[in-house]
Amino acid sequence: MKLYGGIDLHSNNSVVALLDEEDHVVYRKRLANDPALVLESLAPYREAITGLVVESTYNWYWLVDALMDAGYRVHLANTAAIVQYSGLKYSDDD
């Protein structure tokens, strides 16, 4: 089984998600921004992960360095260049 990961990076925590080839969520968790903790959380899925996408915010360097040093294939997402999904619903939608 191949897994694809995305990491939504915030100032003091990250949301790590892994999806399978059919877009089923296999793992999703909010973690403190601690490289050892992130790597430990990904470890059980290591062999199946084909790549991880990290949001290229102002503080992405430490995370990308840790992931690449651990041998993960990492991609940066330029959030300013990504077109938002046009079907987004908002909390006040009926």
pLDDT digits (tens, 9 = 90+) for 25-38: 999 999 999 999 99
Length of the chain: 94
* CB atoms closer than 10 angstroms to residue 8: 16
Cα torsion angle, 74, 29, 78, 23, sign: positive
Q: What does pTM read for this prediction? A: 0.83
- The helix (H) or strand (E) run that includes residue 2 is none
pLDDT value, residue 88: 56
pLDDT in tens, 35-83: 999 999 999 999 999 999 998 777 899 999 999 999 999 999 877 776 6
